[in-house]
Structure 1
């Protein structure tokens, strides 16, 4: 049996631990979330500041590869009410927090953030700072759609302090683009990339996906060659997550047999990765690459790379508040997720309530396992040699790790695990070996995409 056949199983992407399906919602309450948030905020606001993730869910058309929470509409009169709602949610948090927040990170995600006009985005960002200040070294970023990001969008957000932008490219093949209903030309991507560089953005990212319907090795290599000609500072090279059972995610625009499988899909990644490494990109964490002089590469080399619901970040804050429909907040010792429909989100805000519908309070074991999974995701190694990282169940996990060590995926020495070069594509599987909640209660239905 090949390693692909052996390890290609459903598994989490580990933007959190515990993963959302294993949250203990019956032990959670909004009051517990508020107490946990205030506790972490008091400990970290003056030293590192906080992060904000703002979910802007509207898109003008449906991309059939996308599993994000979104609302498809061409009506732009939805913009102003939504911005007002997000700012009201932020005001509720500011009333709760015991001192004026210092914002270190803002990330605008979607949906399509550039669905919103520059004027409404200005209202949003300026509204955040009525009751907050910028941290000394702040980093603001947003996701832009190459087809509707205008020069005015880029200039406006730059003037508001944004220096990072990422563009969803996926693949340049016309056949693939037709299948996923994401039609955009290389010309459009080049245009917005050059605009951002001309304006002064210091970090430009492109998101690529392998494993898309009808995608061939030639498609991947062509996309990477075109991407390299633009030299983005950062690259996400994701595996397509096929989760058509999630209601409303739109992943029914093609048949299962249209997707590259197992060894074919893995070849798309391996050959694509080789091309990126030849082009001066460094592999940092899972599915991410950056140029050698980028701050993300430096964070990886310095051991300060962090991963949360926003993905990989070059710095860590213990408090991340998610604003907007479906956003997830993280106080390090607790998670809270907002209502997933815009109507329910608005209804709770109309009652002057935080629009939270579920969450999880982390126990001591959760915090230790979370640290191990973060270490594996961000540094490709972890250790259980001291009392802050040791947990009794490691003794039962070691046999599974030994099997992976035999397969050449990792090396264990002096109570420390090192992911090998061969094992990097299987890092999700290695994390699963530490996932005590998953081990104790395997899912009975489809929850996760395949690991490979």
Structure 2
């Protein structure tokens, strides 16, 4: 593809795991507002829960998560004590006992938790929530620090899907990002999980890393596909040292340029398709029988703070420092510093740091952006049926965007606006054209490719 075209569409834009995106959250949404929102849940609402464990025993330089390094377990135990209390406090503000259909433990590294703490967390959660028999319970796993005892603890906790970060199997790349993790270690953990009956496994691969050549990336992709995970995420490394200062440890001169990043993304995607995976959105791949591949085919794929998902929940509640939740009213993010989080919980306060109260226009634009991100199109007739006359402004914007577009990536008629062909890898850039907040303020984003 032409260099100028790649540069044009690879300009930094949001990843759109929410709309509006997190830089537009404010402290106008506080504990009192969140308590009111919690009290507004309806009978029959289904919940997704996210629990953030913000600790690692090693700080990976590429990481964009809210986490801190610890070599002692005492800080983790102290944090868990407050986490249990937060769960109790939030559940007490709900008007009804609600049903959980999805639970995700993220980090940091949830695999720092010991088996006894997984058991305690399970007891606390099931004391306050009902879990569907087929609830998906997923945990992010670092293969380099997980033990057989911890795997058993996660299985007893109810683990149904394991999420494992691969990044790149090259020693050179691993050294450059401070992430030593051999293929053999990863393979052994995958095999151990399957031996314990865990059938659903997804692996994350990164392109755009320092010293990552085509040969090294394709070797990683081949080894990842050889393990036959149900899902593979192919993420572009987001170099944001102004937000994550530890990324300054990465030599920027060793990072691939925009054209090389794009080439790597396309080659890796083609290799995964050749290995039997179906494309899901712009950066996920799944085996044909996997629920995510099915959702992509039938139009029910969704997108939230974990990225692409088949989560059917009406709302998500986040627990722990920096955790984000979402519901009909808006978004909520807990305070980020773990010390501040724990102090607020100790005072008997909810730990909300900021959030965003949605307007009807936000919901409409969010729906359009989510449809583009998940299906590469939105149905104009369905949009009018859902939002009435208010949708006409979006339709006028869509027609203007299509009329001004000269690169062949958009198809537009009276029924449908679609991103097609070679435009699909650039869907974030096209979705951003429907973002009424993009370009406001000082928010900075990672490259769109």
> Are 2:409 and 1:409 equivalent residues in the alignment?
yes
Match of 1:323 among 298, 301, 319: 319
Residue in structure 2 matched with residue 398 of structure 1 by the alignment: 399
**Distance of 1:260 and 1:403 partners within structure 2:** 31
> Are 2:292 and 1:296 equivalent residues in the alignment?
yes
**Distance of 2:385 and 2:300 partners within structure 1:** 21
**Distance of 2:43 and 2:425 partners within structure 1:** 36
What does residue range 88-237 of structure 1 map to in structure 2 within 5 Å? 88-237=85-234
Residue in structure 2 matched with residue 34 of structure 1 by the alignment: 35
Displacement after TM superposition at 1:13 (Å): 0.5
**Distance of 1:18 and 1:103 partners within structure 2:** 25
Aligned with 2:393: secondary structure? coil
Displacement after TM superposition at 1:397 (Å): 4.8
* CA gap 1:43/1:415 in 2 versus in 1, 3 angstroms: farther
Question: What's the C-alpha RMSD, in Å, of the aligned pairs?
Answer: 1.6
Residue in structure 2 matched with residue 426 of structure 1 by the alignment: 426
**Distance of 2:441 and 2:369 partners within structure 1:** 23
Q: Which runs of 5+ in 1 are unaligned?
A: none
> Are 2:231 and 1:244 equivalent residues in the alignment?
no
Displacement after TM superposition at 1:102 (Å): 1.3
TM-score of the superposed pair, with normalisation by structure 2: 0.95
User: Is the Cα contact below 8 Å between 2:64 and 2:244 reproduced in 1?
Assistant: no
**Distance of 1:254 and 1:244 partners within structure 2:** 9
Displacement after TM superposition at 1:153 (Å): 2.1
Q: Deviations over 1:260-308 (max 9, x none)?
A: 0111110100000000000110111231111001111112222221111
Displacement after TM superposition at 1:410 (Å): 2.2
Residue in structure 1 matched with residue 269 of structure 2 by the alignment: 273
> Are 2:348 and 1:360 equivalent residues in the alignment?
no
Displacement after TM superposition at 1:393 (Å): 4.6
Match of 1:8 among 7, 10, 20: 10
What does residue range 336-355 of structure 1 map to in structure 2 within 5 Å? 336-355=332-351
Displacement after TM superposition at 1:247 (Å): 4.6
Displacement after TM superposition at 1:374 (Å): 1.1
**Distance of 1:247 and 1:422 partners within structure 2:** 32
User: Is the Cα contact below 8 Å between 1:33 and 1:334 reproduced in 2?
Assistant: no
Residue in structure 2 matched with residue 311 of structure 1 by the alignment: 307
Aligned with 1:242: secondary structure? coil
Aligned with 1:335: secondary structure? strand
Q: Which runs of 5+ in 2 are unaligned?
A: none
User: Is the Cα contact below 8 Å between 2:102 and 2:311 reproduced in 1?
Assistant: no
**Distance of 1:44 and 1:31 partners within structure 2:** 24
**Distance of 1:221 and 1:282 partners within structure 2:** 18
> Are 2:16 and 1:20 equivalent residues in the alignment?
no
User: Is the Cα contact below 8 Å between 2:44 and 2:99 reproduced in 1?
Assistant: no
**Distance of 1:307 and 1:332 partners within structure 2:** 15
Q: Which segment is superposed worse, 302-311 or 168-177?
A: 302-311
**Distance of 1:426 and 1:195 partners within structure 2:** 38
Q: Deviations over 1:125-168 (max 9, x none)?
A: 22111122112431100000010122222222222221100111
* CA gap 1:444/1:104 in 2 versus in 1, 3 angstroms: closer
**Distance of 1:316 and 1:94 partners within structure 2:** 20
Q: Deviations over 1:377-414 (max 9, x none)?
A: 1222112332424141542453333344x312221122
Q: Which segment is superposed worse, 238-247 or 132-141?
A: 132-141
Aligned with 1:411: secondary structure? strand
User: Is the Cα contact below 8 Å between 2:57 and 2:70 reproduced in 1?
Assistant: yes
Displacement after TM superposition at 1:67 (Å): 1.1
Aligned with 1:138: secondary structure? strand
**Distance of 1:446 and 1:134 partners within structure 2:** 38
**Distance of 1:43 and 1:409 partners within structure 2:** 44
Aligned with 2:235: secondary structure? strand
**Distance of 1:158 and 1:24 partners within structure 2:** 38
Residue in structure 1 matched with residue 386 of structure 2 by the alignment: 388
**Distance of 1:159 and 1:189 partners within structure 2:** 21
Displacement after TM superposition at 1:214 (Å): 0.8
Aligned with 1:214: secondary structure? coil
**Distance of 1:420 and 1:121 partners within structure 2:** 45
User: Is the Cα contact below 8 Å between 2:23 and 2:443 reproduced in 1?
Assistant: no
TM-score of the superposed pair, with normalisation by structure 1: 0.94
